[in-house]
């Protein structure tokens, strides 16, 4: 199912549960602004290459719009719209003073040199600089982008507006980035997993995990789960998928990758069919890569008892229904991966204060936000008799709806 149709379907279900007025429902669904720009750059060989960049600003009722920028060949407007909408509900779920936005460029970053990526990022920033800003819309990294990408955006933006460190988060530490931001999404995933498992009298220690994706989110989640005594029995990225029924040594795998090795060539595990990863025998499945990977064709075969949505929108609504009938508990993306934007908020606060926090404070505050949000979601589940996804959606949507009504519509 198209990601925008799927996300909007979840929103409408939450609006029905909350009994939202239909005009308010429509106003919350329509994005504030959609930006589509052409980005042409000279390639290193002198030829011209053209790309399409997007920034969708979904809602700003609760504060500046916030969300990552993705570089991936499948980036297109509907998907960016869906991801921007998810950011609006996500920032509200963890109760940070932001709205939602998302951006992206349809490109394959692995096929571009570092200087081509820099040129592309600078051209994109030139096209959108007057529509983003510290108090309007604050980008951050997502798939295919990283702290270096944010440094280029900061530099290009500052040429127009003067030095503005708080215009992006997820920056390098030397440019005002926050300690703990790089690990934050993965760390938040682990706090979220702890909170969920605690409800069932379980803990990470001794459980088995399968993880799809070993980039920023997947590698940090895997490392922290490994260090908490969880056994990662299967993991995969674009290069391939590996398994080890006794548990993969994630520290060794990180070392292997840092030395330039491909995940598929790691000798501490056996190669397996990537399609089998999501239906591999395990207690907890954590998708940390693309959206829409759990769908009606594979959902019935999932063996995990718990799914932690570290990726954005990994589960199609049809898969959601199948999983629910099977009794699989799904911890939704707008909570499970909210650690990244929560520490982005801490970074923005530090930049505005001009004061840097210790990493311990960042991690403790993150844990506090994640624990509070989990309790708030559970309260919504109890009040409305709904599952965790609808608990999170009703929590996020009700907070945004209240802010919208309080601000009013008078011209």
Ligand X SMILES: NC(=O)C1=CN([C@@H]2O[C@H](COP(=O)(O)OP(=O)(O)OC[C@H]3O[C@@H](n4cnc5c(N)ncnc54)[C@H](OP(=O)(O)O)[C@@H]3O)[C@@H](O)[C@H]2O)C=CC1
Give the separation between CA 334 and CA 312, rounded to whole angstroms: 8
Q: Is 237 in the site for ligand X (CB under 6 A)?
A: yes
Q: Is 68 in the site for ligand AKG (CB under 6 A)?
A: yes
Q: Is 101 in the site for ligand AKG (CB under 6 A)?
A: no
Q: Is 60 in the site for ligand AKG (CB under 6 A)?
A: no
Least Å distance, CB 301 to ligand X, is 17
Residue with token string 């520290």: 251
Least Å distance, CB 44 to ligand AKG, is 29
Q: Is 150 in the site for ligand X (CB under 6 A)?
A: no
Nearest to 278 by CA among 207, 190, 189, 211: 211
Query: Contacts with ligand AKG in 324-363 (CB under 6 A)?
Result: 337, 340-341, 344
Q: Is 399 in the site for ligand AKG (CB under 6 A)?
A: no
CB neighbours (10 Å) of residue 48? Answer: 8
Q: Any binding-site annotation on 66?
A: yes
Q: Which is nearer to ligand X, 195 or 221 (CB)?
A: 221
Least Å distance, CB 347 to ligand AKG, is 8
Q: Is 100 in the site for ligand AKG (CB under 6 A)?
A: no
Nearest to 85 by CA among 163, 158, 14: 14
Widest distance between CA atoms in the chain: 65
Q: Is 283 in the site for ligand AKG (CB under 6 A)?
A: no
Angle at 171 between CA 169 and CA 177, to 5 degrees: 85
DSSP 143-203: TT--HHHHHHHHHHHHHHHS--GGG-SS--GGGTPPTTHHHHHHHHHHHHHHHHHHHTT--
* 264 noted as active-site residue: no
Residue with token string 């292997």: 256
Q: Is 67 in the site for ligand AKG (CB under 6 A)?
A: yes
By CB under 6 A, how many residues form the interface with ligand AKG? Answer: 13
Q: Which is nearer to ligand AKG, 310 or 388 (CB)?
A: 310
Q: Any binding-site annotation on 159?
A: no
Give the separation between CA 123 and CA 135, rounded to whole angstroms: 22
Query: Contacts with ligand AKG in 301-330 (CB under 6 A)?
Result: 312
**Which option in ligand X, ligand AKG, none does residue 41 bind, with CB closer than 5 to 8 A by kind?**
none
Q: Is 142 in the site for ligand AKG (CB under 6 A)?
A: yes
Q: Is 144 in the site for ligand X (CB under 6 A)?
A: yes
Least Å distance, CB 326 to ligand X, is 23
Q: Is 247 in the site for ligand X (CB under 6 A)?
A: no
Least Å distance, CB 203 to ligand X, is 24
Nearest to 289 by CA among 373, 366, 222: 222
Give the separation between CA 139 and CA 84, rounded to whole angstroms: 11
Q: How far is CA 267 from CA 76, 256, 292, in A?
A: 37, 9, 30
Strand order in the sheet with 65-72: 33-42, 48-59, 100-106, 65-72, 137-141
Give the separation between CA 185 and CA 187, rounded to whole angstroms: 5
Q: Which residues bind ligand AKG (CB under 6 A)?
A: 66-68, 90, 140, 142, 169-170, 312, 337, 340-341, 344
Where in the sequence numbering do the catalytic residues fall? 102
Q: Which residues bind ligand X (CB under 6 A)?
A: 68, 141-144, 185, 212-218, 236-239, 288-290, 310-312, 337, 340
């Amino acid at each position: 199912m198209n990601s925008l149709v799927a996300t909007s379907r979840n929103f409408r279900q939450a609006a029905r549960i909350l009994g939202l007025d239909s005009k308010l429902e429509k106003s919350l669904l329509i994005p504030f602004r959609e930006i589509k720009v052409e980005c042409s750059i000279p390639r290193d060989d002198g030829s011209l290459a053209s790309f399409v960049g997007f920034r969708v600003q979904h809602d700003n009722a609760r504060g500046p719009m916030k969300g990552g920028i993705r570089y991936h060949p499948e980036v297109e407007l509907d998907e960016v719209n869906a991801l921007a909408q998810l950011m609006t509900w996500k920032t509200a779920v963890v109760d940070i003073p932001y709205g939602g936005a998302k951006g992206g460029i349809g490109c394959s970053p692995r096929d571009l040199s570092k200087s081509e990526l820099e040129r592309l990022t600078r051209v994109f920033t030139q096209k959108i600089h007057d529509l983003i800003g510290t108090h309007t819309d604050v980008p951050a990294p997502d798939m295919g982008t990283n702290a270096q990408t944010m440094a280029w955006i900061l530099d290009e933006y500052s040429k127009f507006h003067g030095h503005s460190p708080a215009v992006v988060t997820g920056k390098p530490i030397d440019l005002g980035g926050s300690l703990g931001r790089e690990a934050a999404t993965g760390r938040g995933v682990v706090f979220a997993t702890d909170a969920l498992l605690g409800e069932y009298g379980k803990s990470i220690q001794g459980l088995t995990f399968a993880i799809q994706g070993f980039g920023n989110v997947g590698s940090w989640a895997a490392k922290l789960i490994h260090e908490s005594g969880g056994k990662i029995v299967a993991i995969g990225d674009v290069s391939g998928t590996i398994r080890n029924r006794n548990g993969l040594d994630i520290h060794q795998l990180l070392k292997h990758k840092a030395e330039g090795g491909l995940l598929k060539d790691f000798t501490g595990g056996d190669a397996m069919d990537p399609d089998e990863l999501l239906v591999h025998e395990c207690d907890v499945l954590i998708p940390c890569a693309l959206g829409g990977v759990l769908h009606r064709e594979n959902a019935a075969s999932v063996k995990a008892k718990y799914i932690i949505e570290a990726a954005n929108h990994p589960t199609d609504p049809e898969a959601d229904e199948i999983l629910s009938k099977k009794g699989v508990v799904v911890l939704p993306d707008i909570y499970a991966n909210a650690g990244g934007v929560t520490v982005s908020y801490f970074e923005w606060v530090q930049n505005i204060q001009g004061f840097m926090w210790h990493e311990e404070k960042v991690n403790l505050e993150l844990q506090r936000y994640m624990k509070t949000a989990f309790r708030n979601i559970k309260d919504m589940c109890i009040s409305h008799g709904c599952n965790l996804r609808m608990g999170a959606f009703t929590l996020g949507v009700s907070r945004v709806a209240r802010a919208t009504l309080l601000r009013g519509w008078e011209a």
